[in-house]
Amino acid sequence: MKEKISTIPLIDAFKSDDECPFCYLERMAEQHAISFVLGSGATYMEGEVRAQTDEAGFCRIHYHKMYDYGNRLGSAMILQTHLQKVSKELEKEMANIREIEKVKGFFGRKAKFGNTAVTSLGAWLDERKRSCYVCNHIETLYERYLQTFFDLYKKDKEFQGLFADSKGFCLPHFRDLTEGAYVYLNEKQRVDFCEKLFDLMKTNMKRVEEDVAWFVEKQDYLNRDADWKNARDSVQRGMQKAGGGYPADPIFKND
């Protein structure tokens, strides 16, 4: 298997013996993005990067992870210009909805509260809530990794072996692989791939399920001296299989 710059991260992920190689890749991309904007390189001082963080901002999860990372000054400087930009936009949106109220009397109209915004201000705030510099970085890399996965799978027998020997995937990434098969593979390739993927998932879901079941049984005093087998870390692995990510990861901090 000939490794190239574009394939090395993917191959390393499949060699990592992880419950889901794509969780491994997403964590790597997330940590890279946080380190890129807040790490020792101080890229938050660069105009191009600051323009991107000003525009996108960050989601709740990644604000939390930025705070945990530890560079308070860097976070403050990023926030300073981002909040200035958002405040100007907010004032414009609030003024706009006041004008609409004057013309249409919108505030006096009854509307059903729900996930879909009923005002232009609500729609703008929804968009702000979804916008995140780190999430954008992860999504961009993830799409490339997914395409690279199918390219390798079609062309490289050794990589097909890595896939077959893997521990399967979390359910969210299993979904993307199943959907991706309909985008990147022809009919014959898709049928063969999905058959192997489904068998792989069935085997490894059962393995994790049995590990979690033994973890529960091990709490019984009758089993206190029994071997843990592979159950010690089964709770976090089970959570990863079901929802993705790494619930037991330590806080990612600036060195």
Write out pLDDT tens, residues 96-126: 887 766 556 555 556 666 678 878 899 999 9
SS3 109: coil
* Res. 202: pLDDT tops 90: yes
CA distances from 177 to 139, 184, 227 (A): 15, 10, 36
Q: How far is CA 193 from the centre of its chain?
A: 24
Q: What is the mean predicted confidence (pLDDT) over 137-153?
A: 97
pLDDT tens for 10-57 read 999 999 999 999 999 999 999 999 999 999 887 888 999 999 999 999
- Sequence-distant (6+) residues with CB within 8 A of 84 are none
Quote the Cα angle for 147-193-148, to 5°.
15
Domain layout of the chain by residue ranges? 8-134, 145-243
DSSP for residue 105: -
DSSP for residue 45: G
pLDDT number for residue 22: 98
pLDDT number for residue 131: 96
Please provide the average confidence, as pLDDT, over all residues in the chain: 93
CB 175 within 8 A of CB 58: no
